[in-house]
């Protein structure tokens, strides 16, 4: 993956208990060094012959995101899961708008795709204004994927 200019690539240690999962992550910081956007690509090996229920996976991920934000005092509304692409693969996508006391504070998008032997999830999230202003960076990163 080619990360956008100005983003910091974070090293993610490989979980030895899950060698079939690999992750890449980059963060966009403000001038004070505070993270304002994060993008992560996760690749998981899929057992031969296993049929991945992509919509089910994305629904569970969305539910988990909403639950985590709710427990932190936020409300969230997510778009209906809809078809998109991730690299050359057909994919499904949903975007959640996270609010606190009625004020839009964060946005998060989840995109999931599956190939013959791998499943991919691209997640990106950020402060509302930064997320909106980072759409070109996000599109460039998504378009750079070679899955």
Quick check: is 129 in a domain? yes
Q: What is the pLDDT of residue 18?
A: 73
Using 50, 70 and 90 to split pLDDT, how confident is the model at 47? confident
Cβ 6 vs Cβ 30: under 8 Å? no
Q: Could you read off the pLDDT of 90-114 as tens digits, one per residue?
A: 999 999 999 999 999 999 999 999 9
Q: What is the pLDDT of residue 14?
A: 73
Instruction: Give whole-number Cα distances, 44 to 12, 17, 102, 143, in Å.
Output: 15, 13, 36, 20
Residue span of the structural domain in which 31 resides: 8-144
Total structural domains within the chain? 1
pLDDT of 55 over the 90 cut: yes
pTM of the model: 0.91
Q: What is the pLDDT of residue 9?
A: 95
Quick check: is 2 in a domain? no
Quick check: is 18 in a domain? yes
């Amino acid at each position: 993956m080619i990360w956008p200019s100005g983003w910091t690539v974070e090293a993610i240690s490989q979980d030895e208990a899950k060698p079939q999962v690999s992750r890449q992550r980059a963060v966009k910081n403000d001038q004070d060094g505070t993270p304002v956007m994060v993008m992560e690509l996760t690749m998981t090996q899929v057992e031969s012959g296993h049929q991945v229920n992509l919509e089910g996976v994305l629904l569970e991920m969305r539910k988990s995101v909403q639950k985590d934000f709710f427990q932190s005092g936020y409300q969230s509304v997510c778009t209906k899961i809809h078809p998109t692409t991730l690299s050359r693969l057909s994919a499904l996508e949903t975007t959640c708008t996270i609010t606190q006391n009625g004020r839009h504070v964060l946005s998060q998008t989840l995109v999931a795709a599956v190939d013959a032997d791998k499943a991919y999830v691209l997640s990106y999230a950020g402060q509302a204004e930064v997320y909106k202003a980072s759409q070109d960076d996000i599109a460039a990163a998504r378009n750079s994927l070679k899955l």
